[in-house]
Amino acid sequence: MTLEEKMGQLAQYPSQWSDTGPSVPAGRKEDVRAGKVGSFLSHYGAEATQEMQEIAVTESRLGIPLLFAYDVVHGYRTIFPIPLGEASSFNPDLARRTARAAAREATAGGVHWTFAPMIDLSREPRWGRVMEGAGEDPYLNSILARARVQGFQGPSVAADTTVMATAKHFVGYGAPQAGRDYHTVDISKRTLHEIYLPPVYAALDAGARSVMPGFNEIAGIPMHAHDRLINGLLRNDWNWDGVVVSDYTAIWELKKHGIADTDLSAGIQALEAGVDVDMVSGIYGDTLATGVQEGRLRLDDVNRAVRRVLRAKWDAGLFEDPFRYGSPEREDEVILSDSHRDLARTAAQQSMVLLKNEDEVLPLGDGVETLAVIGPLADDARTILGEWAGAGRAEDAISVLDALQNRTGVDVRYVPGLPDVRSTDMSGVDDAVDAVRQADAAILVLGEHYSMSGEAASRTSIDLPGRQQDLADAVTATGTPTAAVLLNGRPLALSTLDDSVPAILEAWYPGTEAGPAVADVLFGEVNPSGKLPMTFPRETGQIPIFYNHKNTGRPPVQDQDYTSTYLDTHWTPLYPFGHGLSYTSFAYGAPKLNKGSITINDTLRMTVDVSNTGDRAGTEVVQLYVEDSTASVTPRVKELRGMKRVHLSPGETKTVRFAVTPEDLTFIGPRMRRIVEPGHFHLHVGTSSADVQTSTFQLTGSTTPIPVTEISSPTQ
Ligand code: GLC
């Protein structure tokens, strides 16, 4: 390979967009013929990808196949709930299945490589990209990261129905200053290792073949030049040798960060730090060869990156058959198939969280013959797909209004009430109130337009946008039984809505089958089982607020002076992590431990009986949290270490079992090594992080910290 051809393999360019779909400009086709392109971004579709592959394989000197990459984050054409919504299911098997289905559709469309799962843990709901992740908890994020990687990559990336997964973004991008996207990240090394790195480790441990650094810096070093974390931690400490692909123009942005004054300097720093592929900036393809020719960049470093890219192509089977992905026949067979639509509906059902349900307003009963549907989002078939909706299309999707209008026996009166969710024009509210007065029940569809979350969509307030709260107040003032359905991409501050509306169903952005799934839950065909993967504060001013906080020296006691509370708002969240109600009720028996103390070599076994005390079958997500009572580093008040979905018929009781090992008790010690220390521990088990029963046990053994040799998450 010539030096130029080597650099070509490291260059990734975007496809152009037109009404007929992705297209590549003539000039870029010439680059492919010249061996100057290694991969494309957002070029998909069997026909479009085969055309470019034909040029690469038959018209370039070496005939090296192209890789086609795309952001298949929560679906390719069949769109599943946004990842934050899917995380509410606390169901890794579901996450694995939706990723698997997305990979089947994407590979039929010629895609080899997805830029997903997004594994940015975040406690920052002002940041729009929380919709793409799995919320605030390292354990839940890690479990879902594994599941999604396994779903995308399947048993082997060599299969022509699996795609290379990308653990993105590496690392800490979810902690931007003030919640403003792309802003500086400055977190302690301890927080990095305890909170933000575990999901990365889990994704790589599950076999993710690619990593994408974040746009952010960490404490002064931009991730795209972070040799210590990319080469040092990923490649050396964790022995991972996959492909690191930059984020969009992020190598060029090193100049904006202020650590490079030329394109060449930016390119050299990125490549030496371990970034193999340059997404879109053109620096690797156009400039980096000069660095080698001037002796400023080692050819070995270039060769190392080229080998990784070529191996990814080899592992995908492209050297054996460059055309094995992408098939119009397979597109017809799998895209928007009934089974994928069914899965999308199931995923949407399981993603919904019943936040409150006073007076059993929900489920809507047989007595509801006239239903008022209020709110502009009810009729918005694009918003329900959310951001990062791949090749999803509004025309494939079924809106909430469509589904409700299609229900037999219910006469639906739809009044938007507002022109759109941001509008302050209240002229339509009177019509809405009239419709509600004449109805047996009302559904308020409220939330955020899909463009209000996702990338570059931070908000300074996480209140309901516009005059939606005023619309809700006018509707509830009629006295007609009213429930709110929320379509949104982040936790919202809902104190006022909670005061005014008796029932609130968090539906997130549920995807292509949003409408049927919402109707299934509203009318009780499906009993909601979702739990919050991220805390809902009372007010924006409480952010950051998360369940696994520290006790502090003056733990908060509301209305007690000189404790860690506020003057103007109760210190607790409105809806805590793990919260979610059901149309039935569950009762927990007293937890039982098989022993009161364990040694480092033991496993503690806990059982708890859970009963369905209502008259409707339902699924409960039983949660287990661990608390270290005393440690050489301040412990968190509780940390999720187990979760089990339990389906119970009315009156049924099941014994739920958890096994707790010393590895579940580990933490990052004073010298930044993962250790476990003897002492007293509390086990909290229950229906949410704020509603638990507690039992205590002891870990006995030597008094010195016991280093855990087999770590399940990162250390130094
Ligand atoms: C974006 C995102 C990244 C995505 C990439 C390609 O800016 O940060 O997550 O994969 O560009 O679309």
Q: How far is the CA of 208 from the centre of ligand 1 (A)?
A: 17
Q: Is 674 in the pocket of ligand 1 (CB under 6 A)?
A: no
DSSP-assigned letter for residue 325 = S
Mutate to test the pocket of ligand 1, among 173, 247, 458 (most ligand atoms within 8 A of CB): 247
| Confidence check: pLDDT of 143 > 50 | yes
What average pLDDT score do residues 555-559 get? Answer: 97
The CA 247 to ligand 1 mean position distance, Å, reads 6
**CATH label of the domain that carries residue 38:** 3.20.20.300
Listed residues 331, 346, 373: the one ending a domain: 331
Q: Is residue 615 a part of any domain in this protein?
A: yes
Helix axes 138-153, 198-205, angle to 10 degrees: 30
Please say if the pLDDT value at position 649 is more than 80. yes
Residues 6+ apart with CB under 8 A from 338: none
DSSP string, 604-627: EEEEEEEEE-SSS-EEEEEEEEEE
The pLDDT of residue 25: 87
**Is the CB of residue 70 below 6 angstroms from any atom belonging to ligand 1?**
no
Minimum-distance ligand 1 atom for the alpha carbon of 118: 9
Confirm whether 547 is domain-assigned: no
Q: Quick one: pLDDT at residue 279?
A: 98
Q: What is the CATH number of the domain that holds 632?
A: 2.60.40.10
The single residue listed with the structure tokens 């990723």 is 99
pLDDT tier for residue 543 given thresholds of 50, 70 and 90: very high
Which domain-ending residue is among 274, 301, 331? 331
The domain tally of the chain equals: 2
Tell me: pLDDT of 705 over 80: no
For residue 571, tell me if it sits in a domain.
Answer: no
Query: For a pocket test of ligand 1, which of 39, 71, 244 has the largest count of ligand atoms closer than 8 A to its C-beta?
Result: 71
Range of the domain at 615: 586-705
- In the predicted model, is pLDDT for residue 67 greater than 60? yes
Q: Is the pLDDT assigned to residue 704 strictly greater than 80?
A: no
- pLDDT above 90 for 708: no
What's the average model confidence in pLDDT over 128-138?
98
Beta bridge partners, 79, equal: 75
Q: Is the pLDDT of residue 403 over 50?
A: yes
pLDDT in the model for residue 706: 65
298 CA distance to ligand 1 middle (Å): 29
For the residues 411-432, what does the mean pLDDT come to?
97
Does 181 contact ligand 1 (Cβ within 6 A)? no
Which pLDDT tens digit goes with each residue over 219-230?
899 999 999 999
Cβ pair 369, 410 in contact under 8 A: yes
Residue 585 binned pLDDT confidence (cut-offs 50, 70, 90): very high
pLDDT digits (tens, 9 = 90+) for 334-362: 999 999 999 999 999 999 999 999 999 99
The mean pLDDT value for 161-186 works out to 98
Q: Quick check: CB of 168 below 6 Å from ligand 1?
A: yes
Distance 248 CA to ligand 1 centre (A): 6
Strand order in the sheet with 113-114: 113-114, 67-70, 39-41, 11-14, 278-279
pLDDT above 90 for 715: no
User: Is 247 a catalytic site residue?
Assistant: yes
Q: Which atom of ligand 1 is nearest to the CA of 116?
A: 10
pLDDT at 15 over 50: yes
pLDDT band of residue 710 (cuts 50, 70, 90) is: very low
Residue 221 in any domain: the answer is: yes
Residue after which a domain boundary falls, among 290, 314, 331: 331
CA–CA gap between residue 70 and residue 282 (Å, rounded): 18
Give domain status of residue 478, yes or no: no
Comparing CA positions, the residue from 579, 587, 645 lying closest to residue 613 is 587
Across the range 14-26, mean pLDDT stands at: 84
What percentage of the chain carries pLDDT values higher than 70?
98
CA-angle at 341, arms to 164 and 69, nearest 5°? 20
Asked if residue 57 is part of any domain, the answer here is: yes
| Residue 181 binned pLDDT confidence (cut-offs 50, 70, 90) | very high
> For position 497, what pLDDT does the model report?
98
Q: Point out the least confidently predicted range of 10-14, 130-134, 467-471, 666-670.
A: 666-670
The two three-digit tokens of residue 446, written as one number: 């409220």
Structural tokens at position 622:
């039983």
Its sign, for the CA torsion 609, 613, 617, 619, is negative
pLDDT bracket for residue 22 (50, 70, 90): confident
CB of 147 closer than 8 Å to CB of 97: no
User: Which residue in the list 247, 263, 380, 664 is annotated as catalytic?
Assistant: 247
Q: What pLDDT score was predicted for residue 713?
A: 46
**pLDDT exceeds cutoff 90 at 235:** yes
- What is the average pLDDT across 275-302? 98
How many whole angstroms separate alpha carbon 552 and alpha carbon 42?
47
Residue 331 pLDDT exceeds 80: yes
| Within a domain: 626 | yes
Q: Is the CB of 100 under 6 A from ligand 1?
A: no
pLDDT value at residue 712:
43
Q: Is the dihedral of CA 674, 680, 685, 688 positive or negative?
A: negative
- Domain assignment present for residue 268? The answer is yes
Mean pLDDT of the chain: 96
Region 196-207: what's the mean pLDDT?
97
